[in-house]
Amino acid sequence: MNSIKKKLSRYLSISVSVLLVSILLATDISVDKWISKEFDKAMVNKSNLLTTLVSEDTEEVDFDFADEIMPEFSGKNDPEYFHLWHNNKTFERSKTLDLFEINTLPKIKVALHKSKIMNVTLPDGRSGRMITIKFMPQVDSDIREEYGISVEEFSKTQTPMELTYAVSNENLNQTLWFLDLIFIISSILAVLAVRFIVYNVVEKGLKPLDKLNLEIKSINLMSDVDPISTENLPDELLPIAVGINLFISENKTLYAREKRVTSDIAHELKTPITELINLSEVAIKFPDEKQISETFTTDVLEISERLKSIVNGILLLQKSSHSTELKKSDIKIKDLIRAIIHRENKIERNVSLIISKDVETILTNEFALDTVLTNLISNALHYSEKDSQISVLVELSNDLDRIKLSISNTSVYQYSDQELAQFFEPLWQKDPSRTSSQRYGLGLAIVKSYCDNINADIGVTLSSKNQITFTVVI
C-alpha cells in the first residue's frame, strides 16, 4: 500500500541528504587541494630561499648557510633535507643527511630555471615531498662593477646548479585524513539529522490530515452529523473539508428525502391495498348482499387503476432519473403544445398559446419534453379556478441561444416560499391528508428529473395576485 508519509519522508531525506553530502564533499576536496597547494607553495618558497644563499664570483661558488638560523636542517627533531649539486657533484648537503645510512637525495633532471615536485621516501623512512630546482648562482653586483663584467657576459661562464629540498608530509597527510574523517562523520550525522527532521516535520505536517480522516470515519448519515471543523486547518486541506461538508449536507438532504419518499410511497400504496382488503372482506362476509355485489367489480377496478397510476408514476420517476443520454431531435414546438392541450384540456378550458415568431423548433428529446409539458399543463388545468385562463408562452430567453417556455395559471391554493421550494420533491402534496385520489405528488418530481436529464432549467414563481408560473429554459 502506498504511503504519502513514507514517500515524502524518503524523497525529501534522499534529496536533502544528497545535496548536503555533495556540498560537504566539494568542500572537503577544495580544502584538501588548498592545503596541498599551500604545502607545495611553502616548499617552493623554502627552496627559493636556499637558492638565494648561493652566490658566485670570478673565483668560486659560495653557499652562505648557517645552521643556527635554520636548525631544521641539522637537528633530529622533525628534520628537513637539502642537497646541492655543482658540476654533477655534491656541493653541499644538510647535516640531517649524515644521520642516516642513505645520505643523499635523488637527483632529478629538470630544465634550467624550472622545478619539479614529487613524492619520495625520506632517508629516515618517512613519506615526504621533494622539489628539485635547476638555477644559476647569483653574482654580486659589486663584483661585476669591480671587474666591469655584465650579467650576460658572466652568465656565459657560469655552470648551473641543482638543489633538492625534501620535507616530511606525514603531518599534511594526517591533517587531510582528519579532514576526510570529519567529512565522513559530518555526512553520516547530516543524513541522520535530515532523516530525523524530515520524518518529524512530515509526521507533524500530516497530523491535520489524520485528524480529518478520523472525522470522516465518524460520519454516520443515520444520526446527527456535525460538519467537519475548518478551524486551524491548513490551506491545502480547507477546500477538501469544505467539499466534504457540502457532500455531507447534500447527502443528509438526500437521505432525509429518500426516507420521506419511502414513507410516502408506503403510505400511498397502503391506502388502496387496505381498501381492497376491506372490500374483499365485506364481500366475503356478506356474499348475498346485492348492493355490495353490484359495485364490487367496479370498486376493485377503480382501486386497481389508482394502484397502477401510483406504480407507473414511480417507475416513470425512476426512468427519468436514469443518467443515460437521451436522443435529441428537432421538435416543432407549436404542434407539440397544441397536441398536449387538446389531449389534457378535456373540459374545454380557456388556454392561451403564444409562440414567438423566432421559435419554430427545439432541439431536445421529444419524449422528455412531452412529459414535462404534459405534467405542467395538466397541473395548471387541475389546480386553477375553472373560469380562469391558462397561459402558455414560448419565446427566446435573454441569452438568445436558449428557448423559454412559461406556463401560468391562477392557483386555487396559497403557497409559502418554503412550499414553493418543495414543489419538485417526490410525493409532496399541499394537502397533508392526501385526500386526492388522482394526484400523488409525482408529476413535478418527474418534470424536474427530466429537465435535469436534458440540461433544462426549471423554476416556479408566485405573484401577488396568486398567479403561479412555471418556467422551463432549454
Residue keyed to cell 585524513: 177
End-to-end CA distance of the chain: 48
Quote the pLDDT of residue 150.
Answer: 59
Q: Which amino acid, residue 351?
A: V
Predicted confidence band at 141 (pLDDT cuts at 50, 70, 90)? Answer: low
Region 218-228: mean pLDDT is 68
The residue with greater pLDDT, 356 or 322, is: 356
Q: Say whether pTM exceeds 0.85.
A: no
Region 346-367: mean pLDDT is 85
Min mean pLDDT across 95-99, 276-280, 427-431, 432-436 is at 432-436
**Beta-strand relationship, 403-410 and 467-473:** antiparallel
Q: Is the pLDDT of residue 195 over 70?
A: yes
Say which CATH class 325-473 falls into.
alpha beta
CA dihedral 107, 108, 114, 120 (to 10 degrees): -90
Quote the pLDDT of residue 435.
Answer: 45
The per-residue pLDDT of the chain, averaged, comes to 80
Quick check: do 238-318 and 325-473 share a fold? no
Per-domain residue ranges of the chain: 4-177, 238-318, 325-473
Say which CATH class 238-318 falls into.
mainly alpha
Buried b (16+ CB within 10 A) or exposed e, 368-402: bbbbbbbbbbbbbbeebeeebebbbbbeeeeeeee
